[in-house]
Amino acid sequence: MSHYAVGVDVGGTSVKLALVSEEGEVIEQTSVPTLGDESPDATVSQIAETVAAFKKNLKAGDEILGIGIGVPGVVDLDGGTVSYPPNLKGWGVVRLGDLVKKATGYETKVENDANVAAFGEGIFGSGKNHNSFIMITLGTGVGGGIVIGKKIYRGMFGGAGEIGHISIQHDGPACNCGNRGCIERYIGQQNIVDFAHQTVGKFPHSPLARTAEDRRLEVKDLGLNAVKNDEFSIHVLGHVGKLLGVALTSMLHILDIRTFIIGGGVAGAGDFILGPAETHIKTHALASMRHSVKLIPAVLGNNAGVLGAAAMVYQN
């Protein structure tokens, strides 16, 4: 007899659902379009139908213990309540946990998606051997989650881990969020590309830099060319790593958490970012704290969401 959990990752364009074993193995997986413009009942029905389908495929005696859901936005644990999630226009204040429990009969836990992804890495991924770590996701934006003693750290109202909005320059450029000089404003995907275009002039011998006159570069171009020793790409990614290191150093000083797990599309450039970030911390952090700092790449990729959501079910 085996136990399973259903992990659900509600994204802006698709809802991913997976049946996950206690060991973090994905047994069955599916994805449906997000009906974010409709009432939340539409999403609840999608989840209930998929859970029913998963259940039908189980062997006799096997059991689903519960459902975990990651959603964008701040989540109140009371009723698993989501309030005005930015990418789900049809939702207002939704007691999603209660609705899914009623529709499926299963206990349902709801948590912010960045926290869920961090938790997934902590239970089934790079963080497996670390009780406490900070996860940073580098993509369109810069997101994060903090895990302390194997638990998601939520803060007073579930908003903790908004790492992208640490200011690294008090009089820096305005961020969409209303703050100035946020780290996201420097190393969000499009900001990296902007910086690359501003920098091409310094690298007349770089073949990649020369192509930048005719087209908009992409972060993955930089990663691919850095591997080929292109000094322009190495310079731009090194700049990203250094600024990331500034934000991580401040987090280290506040939290004394020394393990950082770096994921997201931009982190595909790997050591060309992580190396300079680690060097920055080890040369700028307080001497008493800098030694044991570790930056490690996330390993779960796009599955961190469903795995973390399922892991919440097993946490009890």
For residue 148, the minimal CB distance to its own copies (Å) is: 9
Cα 221 from chain centroid (whole Å): 22
How many other C-beta atoms are found inside a 10 Å radius of the C-beta of residue 218? 14
Backbone angles phi, psi at 167, to 5 degrees: -85, 125
Number of residues lying near its own copies (CB under 8 A): 44
The whole-angstrom distance between residue 253's C-alpha and the CA centroid of its chain comes to 22
Among 52, 53, 93, 286, binds its own copies (CB under 8 A): 286
Q: Of residues 30, 45, 81, 169, which one binds its own copies by CB under 8 A? A: 169
- DSSP category for residue 15: E
For 209, the enclosing helix (H) or strand (E) is: helix 207-211
The 10 Å CB-count burial string (b at 16+, else e) for 74-83 is bbbeebbbbe
The answer to whether 199 contacts its own copies (rule: CB under 8 A) is no
Comparison of 221 and 278: residue with beta carbon closer to its own copies: 278
Report, in Å, the least distance between residue 94 CB and its own copies.
16
Task: Write the binding mask 65 to 94 for its own copies: x where contact by CB under 8 A, - elsewhere.
Answer: ---------x--------------------
| Residue 223 beta carbon to its own copies: minimum distance, rounded to whole angstroms | 23
Indicate whether 156 belongs to the interface with its own copies (CB under 8 A). Answer: yes
Q: Measuring CA to CA, how many Å separate 167 from each of 55, 72, 173, 195, 267?
A: 47, 22, 10, 18, 21
Q: Rounded CA gap, 121 and 128, in Å?
A: 7
Cβ closest to its own copies, residue 21 vs residue 87: 87
* Residues in 113-152 at the binding interface with its own copies, rule: CB under 8 A: 132, 146
**Which residues of this chain interact with its own copies, rule CB under 8 A?**
74, 132, 146, 154-163, 165-171, 177-180, 242-243, 246, 249-251, 253-258, 283-289, 292
